[in-house]
Chain A
Amino acid sequence: QKEVEQNSGPLSVPEGAIASLNCTYSDRGSQSFFWYRQYSGKSPELIMSIYSNGDKEDGRFTAQLNKASQYVSLLIRDSQPSDSATYLCAVTPSGGSNYKLTFGKGTLLTVNP
C-alpha cells in the first residue's frame, strides 16, 4: 500500500510568518507531486505541482522536493489569515497511470492575525 504521510496539525503561525508544511511518501518511484489547498466545506484547489528535485516558487508559495529522502514540502511566505485551510499533499505512483493520485490526510494550517 503506497502511503503519503502528513502531520495533521493544527499548525498555527502568526500573520506574516513562514508556514512550513511537510509530506513524506513511501513509493520511491513516484514522479509527480502536488499540493492542494482545501478550505472548510470546499473542494481541493491545486496550488503547486513539482516534478524535479529542488525548489519551485510561485508567488508566496515554494514547493521543495527531495526524491532521495522521499520528502516534499510547501513553504508559505508572509502568511495571511486567508491561507488558513487544510493543505493536502498528493503523489502519483510509479509505473502505470500517472493520474492515480494518492493523498495524504492533510495538515490544518491556522494563520493568526
Chain B
Amino acid sequence: SAVISQKPSRDICQRGTSLTIQCQVDSQVTMMFWYRQQPGQSLTLIATANQGSEATYESGFVIDKFPISRPNLTFSTLTVSNMSPEDSSIYLCSVAMDRGTDEQYFGPGTRLTVT
C-alpha cells in the first residue's frame, strides 16, 4: 500500500476559524477521499476529491463548509470552515490504489478540537 501522511496530526482551534488539513501520498493514486470520525462513532464519507475538478460531496456535506482541493494525483486538502464545537472530530484521508480493486487505505488522521 502507499505511504500516506497528513498534516497537522492534531490541532485545537477556536470557534469561527478555519483549518486546512493536508494529505500527501508517496505515489500517484486515482481516488482520494475524506472521511470524518466523530468521537465514539464510525467513519462517514465527506467527499471524493477529484483531480482537476470539483469534489463530489456526500449528503449532509457542502462545499462552503468543507472546501476540498486536489491539484495533482498525490496531494489533497480539506478545509473545515467557520468551525463550531460540533466539528470536533478526527478527519481522515484515504486512497484507492490503481490495482483493479476498490481497497482503500487510510492516512493517520487529524484530530481536531474546536473550543
Question: A-side interface residues toward B, CB under 8 Å?
Answer: 32, 34, 36, 42-46, 49, 88, 90, 92, 97-106
CB within 8 Å of A: which residues of B? 1, 31, 33, 41-45, 48, 58, 90, 92, 96, 101-109
Please tell me if the beta carbons of A43 and B107 are within 8 angstroms of each other in the complex.
Answer: yes
A104 in contact with B42 given A92-B102, A99-B102 (CB within 8 Å): yes
The number of residue pairs between A and B whose CB atoms lie closer than 8 Å in the complex comes to 50
A49 to B99, CA, bound (A): 14
| CB of B100, distance to nearest CB on chain A (Å) | 11
A99 touches B31 (CB 8 A): yes
| Docked-complex contact A88 and B92, CB < 8 angstroms | no
Among B41, B48, B107, point to the contact of A99 (Cβ < 8 A): B48
Task: Using A46-B104, A99-B31, A101-B43 as known contacts, list a sample of 8 further A-B pairs with CB atoms less than 8 Å apart, ordered by residue number in A.
Answer: A42-B109, A46-B105, A49-B103, A88-B43, A90-B43, A92-B102, A97-B48, A100-B58
CA distance A27 to B63 in the complex (A): 28
Rounded to whole angstroms, the CA-CA distance of A46 and B101 in the bound complex is 13
> In the complex, are the beta carbons of A101 and B45 less than 8 A apart?
yes
Q: How far is the CB of B85 from chain A (nearest CB, A)?
A: 20
Query: Nearest CB to that of B106 among chain A residues?
Result: A43
| Nearest-neighbor residue (CB-CB) of B96 within chain A | A99
Q: Are B102 and A44 within 8 A (Cβ)? A: no
Among B43, B45, B48, point to the contact of A44 (Cβ < 8 A): B43
User: A104 to B44, alpha carbons, bound, how many Å?
Assistant: 10
Nearest B residue to A34, CB-CB: B103
Decide if A49 touches B42 in the complex (CB within 8 Å): no
CB distance from B24 to the nearest CB of A (A): 15
